[in-house]
């Protein structure tokens, strides 16, 4: 038996976004890192806002994007004068 009518459209998917970390920058401003899906790839982005970006990196898969986010976290807390959210900025 065949159906003579098209299937209903699938409901729209929510865009993929994963929050990774938050740090206080050298001026005390909050910086965050998140991963978004872009054209079938994953982009790790860090910044003070959606438009004030510190770093961005495109990866083929989600585990690699998470690794990039953690490498950036380590760099900023070790060498970049950023402090963890549970610590007061100096």
Structural domains in the chain (count): 1
Residue 58 lies in domain: 17-84
* pLDDT tens digits, 32-87: 999 999 988 999 999 999 999 999 999 999 999 999 999 999 999 999 899 998 87
Q: Give percent of the chain above pLDDT 70.
A: 92
- Would you state the pLDDT for residue 11? 73
Q: What is the pTM of this model?
A: 0.79
Neighbours of 16 (CB within 10 A): 11
* Residue 8 burial class via C-beta count within 10 angstroms: exposed 0-12, middle 13-18, buried 19 and up: exposed
What's the mean pLDDT when you consider all of the chain? Answer: 90
Domain membership of residue 5 (yes or no) is no
Q: Is residue 77 part of a domain?
A: yes
């Amino acid at each position: 038996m065949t159906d003579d009518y098209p299937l209903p459209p699938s409901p729209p998917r929510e865009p993929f976004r994963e929050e990774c970390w938050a740090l206080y920058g050298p001026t005390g401003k909050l910086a965050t890192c998140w991963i978004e899906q872009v054209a079938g790839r994953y982009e790790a982005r860090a910044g003070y806002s959606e438009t004030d970006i510190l770093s961005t990196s495109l990866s083929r898969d989600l585990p690699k994007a998470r690794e990039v986010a953690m490498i950036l976290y380590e760099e900023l807390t070790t060498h970049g004068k950023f402090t963890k959210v549970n610590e007061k900025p100096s």
